[in-house]
Amino acid sequence: MPEENTLFHKILTGEIPSDKVYEDEHIYAFLDINPVNIGHTLVIPKKFSRTLLEADEETIAHLFNGVTKIARGVKEATKADGINIMNNSEASAGQEIFYTHIHIVPRFDGDGFTHWKGARKYNSGEEQEVVKKIKKEL
């Protein structure tokens, strides 16, 4: 899908309205229309990449500097007990809009939002094999 056809590109260009939280020359942040909790904010880079893993280092630096600043603001404004900062890269990880974006989700004790279901244990020796494979790719 070309960048111009993504929901987030249309939000950036003003074709689709959004509730803007923050904007600078590199990023745009707005409220999620289907929030996990009130204050759930999305942060997108103005430079397109399909997934975070495809973004260049400069874009990632600007994105995460902004995410940190915005997350602090969201936490204070919502009086949240904690914050989740999340990214889903590719459909199997839950990505639905193929334009890099970060979720800032205010969390409240007892809010019922859960993750890490189905965590598993490594088999004997499996950790070392995985570490070797990852290091080889770095």
Catalytic residue among 9, 62, 101, 103: 101
d(CA 47, CA 55): 8
Q: What is the dihedral of CA 53, 56, 61, 67, to 10 degrees?
A: -50
Q: Is residue 101 annotated as part of the catalytic site, yes or no?
A: yes
Dihedral (C-alpha) 97, 94, 52, 104: value to the nearest 10 degrees? 90
Q: How much of the chain is helix, strand and coil, in % rounded to 5? A: 35, 20, 45
Catalytically active residues are 101
